[in-house]
Amino acid sequence: GNSVTQMEGPVTLSEEAFLTINCTYTATGYPSLFWYVQYPGEGLQLLLKATKADDKGSNKGFEATYRKETTSFHLEKGSVQVSDSAVYFCALTGGRGSTLGRLYFGRGTQLTVWP
């Protein structure tokens, strides 16, 4: 079946540090991959996406590359800010046998950035 495994948190960094949050997936077929971000007390917002192998999604300084050979979609940012503190979710859709349009989410990784 389809599933997403992401790095356990919480992750605590100092401002301007480099961020990596690991995400690997299990799916057959050709899934699309997403990173969503949830700020405190809010719903989820799409951060970036990639719809085919070797695509790189990027937004607000965050990047992730769809690696089919390693079934990974790791999130990176070169210099984090306090305002990046949030919960980050990796997700996929479109794997073979998946429910119409359904997103499969990882458990989420809490990021806290200190000034």
Compute the distance between CA of residue 72 and CA of residue 44 in angstroms, rounded to an integer: 21
Does 102 contact another protein by CB under 8 A? yes
Angle at 4 between CA 87 and CA 76, to 5 degrees: 50
Within residues 29-48, the interface with another protein by CB under 8 A covers 31-32, 36, 42-46
How many Cβ atoms from other residues are within 10 Å of residue 95's Cβ?
A: 19
Residues 6+ apart with CB under 8 A from 42: none
Closest contact distance (angstroms) between CB of 90 and another protein is 9
- Of the pair 42, 69, the CB lying nearest another protein is at 42
Does 57 contact another protein by CB under 8 A? no
- Contact residues toward another protein (CB under 8 A) are 4, 31-32, 36, 42-46, 49, 51, 89, 93-94, 98-103, 105-108
